[in-house]
Amino acid sequence: MDGYSKTLAYTATAGITLYFGVSKYLENSKVKLVMASDGDKTVRSLIEEHCPSLTDSAKAYLVPSPLLCTGTLQTIYCSGIALKRDGLSNIKYERELREMSDGGTVSIDWYPGRSSSDGSSDAESTQPIAIVIPGLGGSSYEYHIRSLAKHLAESSRSKIRVAAINHRGSGRTPLTSSKLYNAYDTSDLHEIVEYISESFPKSRIVCIGFSMGANILTRYMGEKGDQSKIAAATVISCPFDMLITGRALSTPGFLNDRLFQPSLMATLRRVLERNIDMIKTSEVGYDIDAVLKAKRVSDVDDLITAKAYGFSDCWEYYKAASSSSSVDAIRRPFLAINAADDPITLIEGVPVDKFKQNPNTALAIVRHGGHIGFFSGINPRIWFIQPVAEFFDAVLADNA
């Protein structure tokens, strides 16, 4: 074989290898959908007909950004750009403070504003509303929430108004009672949904939760069942099994000891230190010195959350707070999105079989995405925003 023939053969071999390599990579990047197969008007039919980013073979995949090819990198990047502002996220909220029945305060950040964009009164407005629930230590100011709010309000077919809530003491919300938020207690969400549904009786409500906020939302949807005033819900990186998530975060190691725990504890410590006088008023009787010296989230949960709700320790609290069992009772369209490489919400904690059995639910699993990351493209963009918008638009258009 002469030199030209050898070169041609090597080039052909390299081309074929690259082709099959890229094909295999794209195949592994496809969205894996888990849904029940029975019934006529099910979430399956809704997604198959109206959510191409989850079902269309040409669109239903997440190829991670080249420099964010692992779940850990995706997670770190998501945290690192939390306060980033660009054309996709640069919005200004209108804030409303809402007092809860126990005297605590939850803030609602509205975008584009609390009033309907068409100028109609609260009682007559039909513009749909999306309630957004941040995770532990998160707030409405995070990049992924601002980006989602802008897209839903400006680019979705339904032009959905956004009500991003900030938990007690978070997102510059004053702590006006000694009660702190947690993954177990859904009472604040119950009150917020009631308030918004009563204020805007003709507006349909959808809801999305992230991480711990996703767990709260899943529990809420199970508790309310077919009485839920939320027309559809989506959860991102939901820790369905809090025991597994708790162990993943508590296991000693470089990532937990140097990255995840310090980041979460820095946010929690600011909330605790800023509101320590109010926390001291609790009748529970917290060991304040120990709380302020806590180095891990599980320590705070041991010293505050477990004690406040009568659990023996954080592990009993995590078991009780888990939302896995709630999936069975969900009776409204419900979409969960999780990444197989999430280093915090491990995939083994996701109740895959429950999604196969409940026709009101669907689970989308992508191979790469980390914890609330899901960045794709050379210039990283948040992948889940499009399927969330498609899902909400489909529900809102159905029997609107």
What is the C-alpha radius of gyration for the chain, rounded to an integer number of angstroms? Answer: 22
Note the pLDDT of residue 147: 98
Note the pLDDT of residue 27: 57
Q: Are 29 and 368 in contact (CB under 8 A)?
A: yes
pTM listed for this prediction: 0.93
Note the pLDDT of residue 15: 46
What is the residue-level pLDDT of the chain in tens, covering all 400 positions? 566 555 555 454 544 433 333 444 455 799 999 999 865 568 999 999 999 999 999 999 999 999 999 999 999 999 999 999 999 999 999 999 999 999 999 999 999 999 988 889 999 999 999 999 999 999 999 999 999 999 999 999 999 999 999 999 999 999 999 999 999 999 999 999 999 999 999 999 999 999 999 999 999 999 999 999 999 999 999 999 999 999 999 999 998 999 999 999 999 999 999 999 999 999 999 999 999 999 999 999 999 999 999 999 999 999 999 999 999 999 999 999 999 999 999 999 999 999 999 999 999 999 999 999 999 999 999 999 999 999 999 999 986 5
Q: What is the DSSP string of 225-246?
A: GGG-SEEEEEEES--S-HHHHH
Note the pLDDT of residue 20: 37
Alpha carbon of residue 219 to chain centroid: 13
Task: List, in order, residues 6 or more apart from 356 with CB less than 8 Å away.
Answer: 34, 35, 36
Rounded to the nearest 10 degrees, the angle between the axes of helix 314-321 and helix 242-250 is 140
Q: C-alpha angle with apex 93: 378 to 336, nearest 5 degrees? A: 55
Q: Are 369 and 345 in contact (CB under 8 A)?
A: no
Number of helices and strands in the chain (H, E): 17, 11
Q: Among all residues, which ones are annotated catalytic?
A: 211, 342, 371
| Closest by CA position to 276, among listed 294, 293, 292, 297 | 292
What is the enclosing helix (H) or strand (E) of 106? strand 105-111
Note the pLDDT of residue 37: 84
